[in-house]
Structure 1
Amino acid sequence: MKPKTATLKITDVFLTILITLLLCSLIFSAPVKTGTIKGVIIDQSTGAPLTGATILLLRDENEEYINGTSTDKNGSFEFQSLQLSNYTVRVRFVGYQTKVLKSITLTEERTEFDVRKIQLEPMPVEMEEVSVTGEKPTVRFEAGKQIIDVDKNILSSSGSAVDVLKMSPTVEVDAQGNVSLRGEANVKILIDGKPSSVAGDNNNNVLQQIPSSAIENIEIITNPSAKYEAEGITGIININLKKKSEQGVNGMMTVSGGTGDRYNSSLNFNYNPGIFNLFANYDFMSVINKVTNQVTRTTQSSGSSSHYIQEGMIYEKFKMNNVKAGFDLIPSPEYFFTLYTNYRYNSPDIGWNMNFNNYQNSAVNSSYSRTLQATQPFESMDVVFNSKRQFEQKGHELTMDLYYSRFEMNAHALYGFIPVTGSNTISQFPDGSRENNMNNLINTYTAQTDYIRPFEKGDKFEAGIKGIIRNYNSDFLTLTNAIIPGQWIVEPNSQDRFRHTENIYSAYAMYSGIFDAFNYQAGIRSEYTGAETELVGGKITNEQNYTDVFPSLAAGYKFNETDQIQLTYGRRINRPSVWMLNPWKNNIDPLNARYGSITLTPEYTNALELTITKFLGKQSITPVLFYRYTADVITQYTFLGNDGVINTTFVNGAKSRNFGIDLTYQAPVFQWWTLGATLSYYKQILTSELPGLNIDRNDYLWNGRINSNFILMEDLSMQVFALYRPAMVFPQGKRNEFYFMDMALKYDFLDKKASVTLRVSDILKSMRFTSTTSGAGYSMENKFEPNQQQISLGFSYRLNNGPKITDRKKEPESIQMMNNY
């Protein structure tokens, strides 16, 4: 059955579901009289707003828990859709005394109660010289996810999203900037709750090319519910970009520069007279990376050994420009519309010089020199439209999202291969030059609608449908002057065209509720996938059509206003990426080749996660225990070919079990010092299911990180971060230990509208990565040392910060998980 035929049938089903949802919205839209309680939390001595304070709403007569929230960056909070009754508000914040407000009454005559400014008094702490206020933790746990507040993370002020994530619990970043969660790289990357074209066919493009100054916060969701797309076995990383919506004219400027020719700048602006909001952002990043690389390879064949040493310098320079512009339209309290576009252009230049020394039975046989000069300019564009219909009851809403993404890259690489001593014994690369040319084009079309219907006592029903159409095209060819000296011709078997089309249609339904101290959520999601893959010239094709069901369950219990326990279950999928599917052989260098497998199938995982939140006075301890079982694991497989080239490809040939614990501790040691520490300890078991596939792994892994924030004086703060990761075993090899330490200072002035930041990264100059790989007849060691030790200086200035309007649009998909918890 062709995907196209199935698509038409599935579309009819989705249209039927959409009409049903619209009818439900009319049936359930009867008016319900509700009320609102709101206010602002400030420091008693300075009057400064307190961001991240915990607000608990309790029943007045028996202090029964009703709801909870935290204050935004302006110190504001708001509870909506409340029954007309008597309430108590309790406010807690690290380093401050708890404040309780009783007898807050909502009636027919007074449905909105504004408690105005609530002043918190700092905890009594003996201090000799300075008096300062507490700091909000850089990482916080909220509604089943971790939230990393970038503004509070001064160490990442002049870096990228990768610099933010490498300091985050459960996240690991390797030498090339590849991101993994709990040791697994199958992560779904979202921007503002949506997939972005900036990823292209590589998720790492997203994280490395977004300046941290453009990010509001990053959310890490390790066990998402059925409301989310099921893609991403280990979870979701959602990057929320800054978008100003305060009334009046507002803006923010950030610039930074440092050693190693690294520069960053961001401009954010908005104009909001009330009925509409115009916003525009511009971000620029210029980076030069220099990496020292050494590869030592030994092969054994017929009683003799061959020994290669490859060493040299890799040079990469790129300039990234990003422009985002759009508007919000609020014609009435019931309707909200947003339209914006995001355009990015990146122009990387890559070069390296490598020397190859070949030893035959311990004697030097030959030496080679290889050079590379490459350009890979690419551009991406997103166009997004959001609409929201808010019914009379707060939280009762119908939303629609349409977005289009486009990514295009034109790569051009010129290789030179020249023998220095001895004769050329590598037949794959005759003397001379080769020129690789590749064009990648990805178009993605997405449409979705979501319906939310709240009920009394916090119960809620949610449902939605979504369709994604993604087309990937890649053309490539290689020219060479080595076959006919002085003449460039197409190299044999080097020209081809790769096509991949993927259509995904999904629907979900969820119900959540609260019963006394218990809370629960149950959901189910169904996804149909139709995929066609073709290597045109090689006449290799593959077609896959399948439908999957992804249930999710969650249950929680609140012991008191701060301590709780939550258990979640979810099933997810990881579809093979296009670079895993593409069977075209890419000869990275004379001794190594990489290619995909067009017959790869998805891998599936079932995950359990238990989260416990415990406060001991001002200290908080959050252990997270997890278990994950994955079938049909897509794993990288490396082997030595008969021609002496080491080949790397991908296979479905294993099952895996992962279980362990993430332990996060946060506490104000003193009023001027806040400490955060995370210890992750887990076991990974990978079992091969194919004869002769030697990729088994059974190893305990752990890593630890410490993050300290100091307030040295009223306007001067410091942050120190350190990470240690011991040696670990992976399929067919081992990775050596790794550690580093960063430090930064920040000084605020002009009534905190301006700030200067000084950052020093890799103080110990210890960011060196070493790995070993072995297989039948070969062993290989790879040493990778990037120039991460850098000093940078940054400056930021804020223009106004008017009162923030109520954002009536739909929150990004990735921040709407289990709001009742």
Structure 2
Amino acid sequence: MNKMITLLTVAAFSSLAALAQKAGTLVTGSVSAAQKPVEAASVGLLRAKDSAVVKMAVSDKAGLYKVENVNPGKYLLVVQAVGYAKQYSGSFELAAGSTSYTAPEVQLKAAEKDLQSVTVTSKKPFIEQKLDKTVINVDASPTNASASILDILEKSPGISVDKDGNISLKGKQGVMVMMDGKPTYLSGQDLANMLKSMPGNNLEQIEIMTNPPAKFDASGNSGVINIKIKKNKIQGFNGSVNTGYGQGVYAKATNSLNLNYRNGKFNFFGNGSQNYNKGFGELSIKRNFRDAATGNILSNFDQAARNDREFSSYNYKAGVDYYMNQKTTLGVVVNGFINKGSEFTRNTTLINDNNGMLVTRTQSTNNVHLDFKNLGLNFNLRHVFDSAGTELTADADYVHYSNLNTQYLNSSFFDNAGLPKANDELLRGLIPSSISIYSGKVDFSTKLKGDVKFEAGVKSSYVETDNDAGYANWNGSQYVTDVIRSNHFLYKENINAGYINFGKQLNKKWAAQLGLRTENTNIKGNQLTTGQTFKRDYTQVFPTLYIGYTLNEKNQFAISYGRRIDRPNYQDLNPFMYFLDKYTYQVGNPYLNPQFSHNIELSHSFNGFLNTSLNYSATNDIIQDVFEQVDSTTTTYVKKSNIAKRQNFGISVSAGFPVTKWWRTNLYMNGNYNKFKGLVNGGQVEVDGSNFVANMQNMFTFSKGWGGEISGFYRSRSVEGVLVANEMGAVNVAVSKQVLKNKGSLKLIVRDALYTQKFSGYSRYQNVDLTLRQIRDSRVVTLNFTYRFGKGKITQPRKKNTSVEEQSRVSGGGGN
């Protein structure tokens, strides 16, 4: 770990030292066509002597652009926009000491060109900081080519993924994960398994919103992560194919195909991917059982488990857009996945008395087979009423999940002499689950008098889950139902919501946005096996407020406030047990309540590259993992509980800048302080602590199509509810080469090169005293190849379809 910290620190300070010596000229200008401004034009600043790209900019709605901190020298501009011919400016020279330069207006002309003739070879920055969100441009990092979506999220600024696949943003859990503006409908381990199975080369951008506006669901107390899949706007037939092979301790492989055909009023698109992943995990747990009165150790457990897992997954998506006329577009999309796999765990548990003498050795094997399937259908409509921005969008979604989880847990018991101590136990679990989701949404936006932007919408969703856990014990001749462990749980949920949102640019310096969202929730739960039922109905209001202030060209400030809700995941409400071994399991809690939070964030952007934010949140009835211990049976289990109130204070700093013409750096640092206070297992618990997280990407562009990257992350010791997690991090290295006339690319990647991505931690409160350590097959060397094919004509882009924003809470069954 020390080697990794040293490497990251030296690289970070080298980058900042180089930046401190930089100061240059501000180059501004405008782009137009047919006497109208051109928005989203790509403006490249080229070195005059060799046309090498020095910096990039994008024009705004007024056609204006600016390129900052340009060194003295001779330059020219190249301007490209969708549907227009590439245009070069004349050369110009920036003198030493100059502070600003206004370039002549660039006038574009419409053109019909081949796909190859309008290929933009310059790269977007890896991280873009905008007023309301942070944007990660995935293609800008070579190590993303063979990584899964979960790997890419893990190294994105402010995002952390814990040992169980739970995603945190700026030190806070409760993130709503969406894909193309639509919910993933998954949570916890099921969400992690899906994101692991999806190759990162299909990604275009990741949008991170820590305080989303009222248009988005109030779900997710720490914000929204929107994963945007690549889209194609090329007339004709085109696509890409990607294949990669990785080798850690075990082999891994990814293959994907993207196809697009657009002709006239129709656009057909489809993509599919196959992912094979074989890996391992090693988990060790040490537990002390103490006398409740004296605190003296009565016995201790020393557990060591080895898990070998093998998964094959297939993801698919297909759809068609029909451009009925210039104002109306209809679309339909079908997508889904098929995940099949198995896990085999060998577990040894040593039970010692208070003198350290071995009392019992338990040998267990846990054989699990998973069959997880998903089918989703989306129908969407978009109608534009006028050129002023008045439009109506509507979406209807149906999503269905089915999961069959089969488990065989075999336990054998021996005394300290190695002789059988009790009869073997064989437990079988048949755990099917079914989830159906129906959702509809309508959104309307327009401009009111006084140039006020008005948005309003309504949404309704209905969810049904059917989970049946059938456990049976082998009696020597047949399986007999285990009535204590078996359960059948039905859950129904209806959420109805409406929102309004107003936004206005008050003057040149001030802007404001105010939103209000109301959500009505109705839920029913029924444990058929035990006859227990529950019903809850509640209505909540969620205001949002944003104020922006532009001090000058280099300094912009923003402050935002939002009230959020985090409803329990369906998996966490499910009261089933899932076993690691006889002594360790997890269990759901059907009586969980939602948690509510108030979030405030103050942000500052300096000169377009340095972004700083201060944030504070206060959360009531926080939902956290709790370790509970049954001393009489020497068992420990994990379940979610509303354990406490939490206060979180945080500060984050990000900077992206070129160190040299061939080296660009992105740095992100986040520090936060968490304080938990509440009742756990009937006793008062107060835990607090601070932690530090840093991400770094160094991207290198060399001649003749060569490129490279050194990236990594570091997370210090942190408090996660009643669990204290020790420091962890990783370093990734990549080399890339453009081949086949830039239609193909080869990339060699080494992820977690120093093999430091290892989790360890402890939990000590009341009668709970345990430490744990976990490692996995994280150091992987991968060779990846991508090839792009097809010809076509680029068409003017249309606005992305708005889709349903439903909370990512669905689970396909027990996780592990």
TM > 0.5 fold call:
yes
Counterpart of 2:282 (choices 292, 295, 302) is 292
Which has the larger displacement, 696-705 or 644-653? 644-653
Counterpart of 1:627 (choices 609, 612, 616) is 616
CA distance in 2, matches of 1:507, 1:676: 39
Aligned to 1:728: 718
Aligned to 1:786: 776
State the one-letter code of the partner of 1:53. A
Aligned to 2:58: 54
Asked whether the 8 Å contact 2:54–2:661 carries over to 1, the reply is no
Which secondary structure state, in structure 1, belongs to the residue aligned with residue 278 of structure 2?
A: strand
Instruction: Note if 1:261 corresponds to 2:255.
Output: no
CA distance in 2, matches of 1:711, 1:495: 59
Instruction: Note if 1:658 corresponds to 2:648.
Output: yes
Counterpart of 2:522 (choices 508, 527, 530) is 530
Residue deviations 1:732-770 (CA, integer Å, cap 9, x gap): 342111121111111112332110010001111112111
- CA positional deviation for 1:691: 8.6
CA distance in 2, matches of 1:578, 1:101: 57
State the one-letter code of the partner of 1:688. G
Aligned to 2:478: 487
Aligned to 2:403: 409
Instruction: Note if 1:500 corresponds to 2:502.
Output: no
CA distance in 1, matches of 2:802, 2:539: 26
Residue deviations 1:542-582 (CA, integer Å, cap 9, x gap): 11101111111111022344531111111110011122222
TM-score, length basis structure 1: 0.83
Residue deviations 1:497-534 (CA, integer Å, cap 9, x gap): 11111101101111111122211111111110000111
Aligned to 1:30: none
Which secondary structure state, in structure 2, belongs to the residue aligned with residue 808 of structure 1?
A: coil
Residue deviations 1:572-629 (CA, integer Å, cap 9, x gap): 10011122222334343222232222222111111111121101xxx72100111111
Counterpart of 2:413 (choices 401, 419, 432) is 419
Change (3 A) 1:496 1:735: same
Q: How many residues align?
A: 728
Aligned to 1:217: 205
Change (3 A) 1:279 1:77: closer
Counterpart of 2:512 (choices 509, 512, 520) is 520
Change (3 A) 1:770 1:691: closer
Where structure 2 has 5 or more consecutive residues not aligned to the other structure, the ranges are 1-34, 67-77, 85-93, 112-119, 806-816
- CA positional deviation for 1:334: 0.8
Higher relative contact order (CA 8 A, sep 6+): 2
State the one-letter code of the partner of 2:81. S
Counterpart of 2:670 (choices 672, 680, 683) is 680
Counterpart of 1:446 (choices 439, 446, 453) is 439
The within-5 A match list for 1:692-731 is 692-731=682-721
Which has the larger displacement, 333-342 or 798-807? 798-807
Asked whether the 8 Å contact 2:393–2:802 carries over to 1, the reply is no
- CA positional deviation for 1:201: 8.3
Aligned to 2:236: 248
Residue deviations 1:10-52 (CA, integer Å, cap 9, x gap): xxxxxxxxxxxxxxxxxxxxxxxx9653555356478899996
CA distance in 2, matches of 1:758, 1:313: 30
State the one-letter code of the partner of 1:139. I
State the one-letter code of the partner of 2:173. A
Aligned to 1:308: 301
Instruction: Note if 1:595 corresponds to 2:587.
Output: yes
Aligned to 2:324: 331
Aligned to 2:604: 612
Aligned to 1:76: 81
Aligned to 2:147: 159
Instruction: Note if 1:144 corresponds to 2:132.
Output: yes
Counterpart of 1:386 (choices 355, 380, 384) is 380
Aligned to 1:472: 465
CA distance in 1, matches of 2:419, 2:235: 70
Asked whether the 8 Å contact 2:255–2:274 carries over to 1, the reply is yes
Which has the larger displacement, 583-592 or 160-169? 583-592
Asked whether the 8 Å contact 1:133–1:672 carries over to 2, the reply is no
CA distance in 2, matches of 1:74, 1:227: 34
Q: Could you tell me the percent identity over the aligned residues?
A: 24
- CA positional deviation for 1:809: 4.7
- CA positional deviation for 1:272: 0.8
Change (3 A) 1:703 1:438: same
Asked whether the 8 Å contact 1:655–1:688 carries over to 2, the reply is yes
Asked whether the 8 Å contact 2:393–2:801 carries over to 1, the reply is no
Change (3 A) 1:394 1:264: farther
TM-score, length basis structure 2: 0.84
- CA positional deviation for 1:59: 10
Change (3 A) 1:145 1:450: same
Asked whether the 8 Å contact 2:651–2:671 carries over to 1, the reply is yes
CA distance in 1, matches of 2:550, 2:183: 34
Counterpart of 1:755 (choices 722, 739, 745) is 745
Which secondary structure state, in structure 1, belongs to the residue aligned with residue 318 of structure 2?
A: strand
State the one-letter code of the partner of 1:37. V
- CA positional deviation for 1:100: 4.4
Asked whether the 8 Å contact 1:228–1:814 carries over to 2, the reply is no
The within-5 A match list for 1:428-447 is 431-447=424-440
Change (3 A) 1:74 1:213: farther
Which secondary structure state, in structure 1, belongs to the residue aligned with residue 139 of structure 2?
A: helix
State the one-letter code of the partner of 1:414. Y
Asked whether the 8 Å contact 1:744–1:759 carries over to 2, the reply is yes
Change (3 A) 1:331 1:133: closer
Instruction: Note if 1:321 corresponds to 2:314.
Output: yes
CA distance in 1, matches of 2:574, 2:103: 63
- CA positional deviation for 1:777: 3.2
Change (3 A) 1:606 1:180: same
Counterpart of 2:182 (choices 194, 198, 202) is 194
CA distance in 2, matches of 1:415, 1:136: 51
Which has the larger displacement, 670-679 or 582-591? 582-591
State the one-letter code of the partner of 1:382. G
Aligned to 1:463: 456
Which has the larger displacement, 729-738 or 470-479? 729-738
Instruction: Note if 1:741 corresponds to 2:719.
Output: no
Instruction: Note if 1:37 corresponds to 2:34.
Output: no
Where structure 1 has 5 or more consecutive residues not aligned to the other structure, the ranges are 1-33, 64-72, 80-91, 105-112, 118-131, 816-821
Change (3 A) 1:713 1:325: same
Counterpart of 2:344 (choices 345, 351, 355) is 351
Residue deviations 1:455-505 (CA, integer Å, cap 9, x gap): 577531111111111111101111221xx2232221232322111111011
State the one-letter code of the partner of 2:135. I
